[in-house]
């Protein structure tokens, strides 16, 4: 009797391994309509009012999170800038309205700075 070649033995062994690996998938791919329905789905409760409410709450959560990040960045950006001193600003407004003269403005400005 003729002995099989090494290539033939490896090929058949590889074929057996591939078949053993793929065989369970073919059983899982078969449709079992008698066992499965939407009521049996583990997430079947998700499709009712609770599911819609949960989706809306998720949108509200992400909206608040994104809005909070935007507001925080804007607040940090404003903190970095230098704002004019409130007393100097009041002094300028009084000078602009004519309540004080140029000499008074300069003297008080020197006192504040």
What digits encode the pLDDT tens for the residues 49-97? 777 888 899 999 999 999 999 999 998 888 765 556 788 888 899 999 9
Show the CA angle centred on residue 78, arms to residues 72 and 84, nearest 5°.
Answer: 155
Average pLDDT over residues 1-6: 70
Q: What is the dihedral sign for C-alpha 66, 69, 75, 76?
A: negative
DSSP string, 70-89: HHHHHHHHHHHSPPPPHHHH
5: left (phi over 0), alpha (psi -120 to 50) or beta: beta
Could you tell me what percent of the chain has a pLDDT over 90? 28
In tens, the pLDDT along 15-60 reads 777 776 666 665 655 665 556 565 666 666 666 677 788 889 999 9
* Other CB atoms within 10 Å distance of the CB of residue 91: 19
pLDDT reported for residue 70: 97
Average pLDDT over residues 94-109: 91
Taking the whole predicted model, whether its pTM rises above 0.85 is answered as no
Q: Tell me the C-alpha distance between 97 and 49, whole Å.
A: 63
């Amino acid at each position: 009797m003729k002995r099989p070649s090494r290539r033939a033995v490896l090929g058949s062994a590889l074929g057996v391994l591939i078949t053993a690996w793929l065989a369970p998938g073919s059983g899982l791919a078969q449709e079992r309509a008698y066992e499965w329905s939407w009521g049996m789905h583990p997430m079947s409760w998700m499709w009712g009012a609770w599911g819609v409410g949960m989706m809306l709450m998720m949108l509200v959560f992400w909206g608040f999170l994104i809005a909070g990040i935007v507001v925080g960045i804007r607040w940090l950006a404003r903190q970095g800038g230098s704002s004019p001193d409130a007393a100097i600003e009041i002094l300028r407004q009084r000078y602009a309205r004519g309540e004080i003269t140029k000499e008074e403005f300069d003297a008080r400005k020197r006192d504040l700075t």
